[in-house]
Amino acid sequence: SLSRSLCKYRLSLPPTVKKHYLSLAKGTECQVTYVWIDKTKEHLQCKTRTLNNEPAGIRDIPEWDAFWTDGDPTEVILIPVRMFRDPFTLNPNKLVLCEVLDSKRDPIGGHQRSHCVQVMEKVKRFEPWFGMEQEYMLFGLDGKPFGWSPQGCPLTGVSCAVGINKVYGRDICICHYRACLYAGVMICGTNAEALASQWEFQVGPCEGTESGDHLWMARYILHRVCEDFGVVASLDAKPFRQSVYTSGCHTNFSTKEMRSEGGLLYIEEAIRRLSRRHSQHLCVYDPHGGADNMSRLCSQSLTSSYDEFSAASGRRNVSVRIPDHVSRRGCGYFEDRRPAANCDPYSVMRALVETCLLGATGEDDDEEKETVTF
């Protein structure tokens, strides 16, 4: 088995040995790692090349060809869109997030970033900001939850727990946090989640498409950090079929008006619009057309109902929540708690903007009742 062979062969180096290789002198070359979303729109791929000099910006990084991991022979083109520092091999090396185009230079099937860019262009004057809360669960190479005993999960049932009997893998969370800061990813916080070895980090707030870029790069860095620890980070919406605990990617949203005095009125109007398009949003809030959320949103352990929209201030078992401090101040942002942990942020942001700012109307508008009270 894989875990047995891991005992025999060393797959990662002791720190001092790794330090030796990384300290070997080199010229002005720069190693650039291209990172892109794969065909499933759920996982990432990467490969690295040498550039002669450090790129000053994204324009200095050339396009590149690539293949899919699933054996599909079609060639695709990688278009660099956002550059970060490489926290694994350090300056001057780079990580670069790429869009994927087909040979006709159209966005590859279903990849949403370019559509998101177009929609954000239309709503620029609203200055839309997004912040995502990424929950994830750690698994060992044996496929079992990281650190759990054979007796099962030391369930804490609360976030932000402290103590070795309640949280497993804090070093992963700490290293990921610092690596993101080094890279220039807009990470704004972390916390332990309800299950031992379940964690969360938050990205944002950033404007428009940028938040999606930062979230995807934060996910890449998470998977790479987990390689070093010999564990796997799962963004599955429902990591255990038998448990009510799930992983989400709460998406916080605001416009300039919502953030300014009296903004609560604009927040309430946006939520009213969302209430009329509940099912349409759920279709794009996980990568499987709503199937993942159908099992995740079971109205238990701080999730809401899959079938019915709900909104409230100061309560968390709802589709959309206005944070308490926002109600008190009368302005700020709101939180859409429905996106699953494995969602594509570009699809989520686009849906939010289309419904709340562009006033898109769904076909079954009349059927879904307004059930919003504040």
Of 39 and 176, which has the nearer Cβ to ligand ADP?
176
CA distance 68 to 164: 40
> Which one of 82, 250, 273, 281 is in contact with ligand ADP (CB under 6 A)?
250
What is the number of other CB atoms lying within 10 angstroms of the CB of residue 92?
Answer: 16
What is the number of other CB atoms lying within 10 angstroms of the CB of residue 102?
Answer: 14
Which does residue 188 bind out of ligand ADP, Mn ion, none, counting CB within 5 to 8 angstroms by kind? ligand ADP
Q: Which of residues 109-148 bind ligand ADP (CB under 6 A)?
A: 129-133
Q: Which among 357, 111, 134, 324 has a CA at the least distance from the CA of 254?
A: 357
Which phi and psi angles does 70 have, rounded to 5°?
A: -90, 15
Q: What is the closest distance, in whole angstroms, from the C-beta atom of residue 229 to ligand ADP in the complex?
A: 23
**Cβ-Cβ contacts under 8 Å for 126 (sequence gap 6 or more):** 255, 256, 257, 357
Using rule CB under 6 A, residue 204 touches ligand ADP: yes
Task: Give residue number: closest CB to Mn ion.
Answer: 250
Decide: helix, strand or coil at residue 105.
coil
What is the number of other CB atoms lying within 10 angstroms of the CB of residue 6?
Answer: 13
Handedness of CA 313, 281, 284, 96 (dihedral sign): negative
Of 99 and 213, which has the nearer Cβ to ligand ADP?
213
Decide: helix, strand or coil at residue 292.
helix
CA distance 294 to 163: 33
Which does residue 254 bind out of ligand ADP, Mn ion, none, counting CB within 5 to 8 angstroms by kind? ligand ADP
Using rule CB under 6 A, residue 259 touches ligand ADP: yes
Q: How many CA atoms lie within 13 A of 285 on its CB side?
A: 28
Which does residue 129 bind out of ligand ADP, Mn ion, none, counting CB within 5 to 8 angstroms by kind? ligand ADP
Q: What is the closest distance, in whole angstroms, from the C-beta atom of residue 80 to ligand ADP in the complex?
A: 25
Decide: helix, strand or coil at residue 152.
strand
Using rule CB under 6 A, residue 208 touches ligand ADP: no
CA distance 342 to 329: 32
Contact indicator for 237, 341 with CB cutoff of 8 Å = yes
Using rule CB under 6 A, residue 43 touches ligand ADP: no
Q: What is the closest distance, in whole angstroms, from the C-beta atom of residue 128 to ligand ADP in the complex?
A: 8
Which phi and psi angles does 120 have, rounded to 5°?
A: -65, -30
Task: Give residue number: closest CB to ligand ADP.
Answer: 131
What is the number of other CB atoms lying within 10 angstroms of the CB of residue 249?
Answer: 28
Using rule CB under 6 A, residue 199 touches ligand ADP: no
Of 147 and 323, which has the nearer Cβ to ligand ADP?
323
Using rule CB under 6 A, residue 161 touches ligand ADP: no
Using rule CB under 6 A, residue 188 touches ligand ADP: yes
Of 238 and 250, which has the nearer Cβ to Mn ion?
250
Using rule CB under 6 A, residue 253 touches ligand ADP: yes
Handedness of CA 97, 100, 104, 107 (dihedral sign): negative
C-alpha distances in Å from residue 373, one per residue of 268, 322, 370: 9, 12, 9
Of 219 and 250, which has the nearer Cβ to Mn ion?
250
Of 153 and 188, which has the nearer Cβ to ligand ADP?
188
Q: What is the closest distance, in whole angstroms, from the C-beta atom of residue 16 to Mn ion in the complex?
A: 37
Q: Name the token pair of 78.
A: 């990688």
> Which one of 245, 333, 345, 354 is in contact with ligand ADP (CB under 6 A)?
333
> Which one of 156, 247, 252, 303 is in contact with ligand ADP (CB under 6 A)?
252
Stretch that binds ligand ADP, among 84-92, 99-107, 201-209, 276-284 (CB under 6 A): 201-209
Of 279 and 301, which has the nearer Cβ to Mn ion?
301
Stretch that binds ligand ADP, among 72-80, 220-228, 235-243, 251-259 (CB under 6 A): 251-259
Residue with the two structure tokens 């620029």: 124
Chain residues that interact with ligand ADP, rule: CB under 6 A: 129-133, 188-189, 202-205, 250, 252-254, 259, 332-333, 335
